[in-house]
Amino acid sequence: MSSDLVILERKGGVSILTLNRPDDMNAISSALMNRLTECFRSLQDDDETRVAIVTGAGRAFCAGMDLKELSSGGDESTGGKIGNPVAEAIADFEGPIIAAVNGYAVTAGFELALACDLIIASTEAKFADTHAQVGMLPGWGLSQRLPRIIGMPRAMELSLTGNKLTARQADEWGLVNRVVEPDELMPTCLALANDMLSCQPDALRGCKRLMVEGSGMPLAEALAYETREAKAWADQVTATAIGKRRGVVQTRNRAQ
């Protein structure tokens, strides 16, 4: 196993980022946070990478912030990680991001999974929000994203108790896209990523942008926004380009 805190592996148009502190359940130290930020910034500047997959080495996806570091009394034990650069770097990546949750996704690790666009969970995955147990408040988006995905009562149950949510429950509650056996986790994520690569690159990013931006608007405003964006897009698409894509789509549909 590499000594790098984040292993970045490129497979064509897909890049896999593996948090690599397995002995510490991939807890987010300042060094790991900085390295993850660097990786996402490098992907944003990489024209070849169109889809990213985030996972963890060992038996955890990410066990949250490094509490040993936070409780050390040193420079890294302050609240400076709130609104941190890694959250911004993830948000700035324009392509789809898939969380391959292989084990525990706790607190900041839960927030990291929620910051991705899709969550594929191993049967070994467990989710928990222990912010209130530790004596902290979420600062990477959990308090806003989680209720929008699973509903306010269920989000309240998780955040106000710190109780664990199994992969099966997460599937039933609509938190994850699907649950697969551990040895099928990465193949499933790579298959989804390759399906995404079959899309026209600019349209792939554009569709993600429409959904992300529109999700923060009232429905009427979001529909008007979609219409404006779609019209502007259609005005610059040529008949020749549509003809080329038609053949690609037909070939793919016949193969499915």
- The tens digit of pLDDT for each residue in 183-208 reads 999 999 999 999 999 999 999 999 99
Domain boundaries, the chain: 6-197, 201-255
Tell me the two tokens of residue 149.
């995905």
| AA identity, residue 215 | S
DSSP 174: T
Q: How large is the C-alpha radius of gyration of the chain?
A: 19
Q: What is the pLDDT of residue 81?
A: 52
Q: What is the pLDDT of residue 85?
A: 84
Residues 47-53: what's their mean pLDDT?
Answer: 96
Report how far apart, in Å, the C-alpha atoms of 147 and of each of 157, 175, 225 are.
10, 10, 24
Average pLDDT in the chain: 91
Confidence category of residue 28, pLDDT binned at 50, 70, 90: very high
Q: What is the pLDDT of residue 247?
A: 63
Q: What is the pLDDT of residue 201?
A: 94
Residue 42 has pLDDT above 80, yes or no: yes
User: Which pLDDT tens digit goes with each residue over 63-93?
Assistant: 999 888 877 655 554 445 555 788 899 999 9
Integer Cα distance of 89 and 87 in angstroms? 5
Can you give the pTM of this predicted structure?
0.90
| Spatial CA neighbour of 87 closest among 108, 61, 56 | 108
Integer Cα distance of 151 and 79 in angstroms? 28
| Spatial CA neighbour of 36 closest among 112, 102, 142 | 112
Burial of residue 6, with CB atoms counted within 10 A of its CB: 0-12 exposed, 13-18 middle, 19 or more buried: buried
User: Which pLDDT tens digit goes with each residue over 103-148?
Assistant: 999 999 999 999 999 999 999 999 999 999 999 999 889 999 999 9
Q: What is the pLDDT of residue 67?
A: 86
Q: What is the pLDDT of residue 105?
A: 98
Q: What is the pLDDT of residue 216?
A: 92
What are the DSSP calls for 177-230, one per residue? Answer: SEEE-GGGHHHHHHHHHHHHHTS-HHHHHHHHHHHHHHTTS-HHHHHHHHHHHH
User: Which pLDDT tens digit goes with each residue over 145-180?
Assistant: 999 999 999 999 999 999 999 999 999 999 999 999
Q: What is the pLDDT of residue 68?
A: 83
DSSP 65: B
Q: What is the pLDDT of residue 253?
A: 61
The domain 6-197 having CATH identifier 3.90.226.10: the answer here is: yes
- Label residues 98-133 b or e (16+ Cβ within 10 Å = b): bbbbbbbbbbbbbbbbbbbbbbbbbebbbbbbbbee
Strand duo 97-101 + 118-122: pairing: parallel
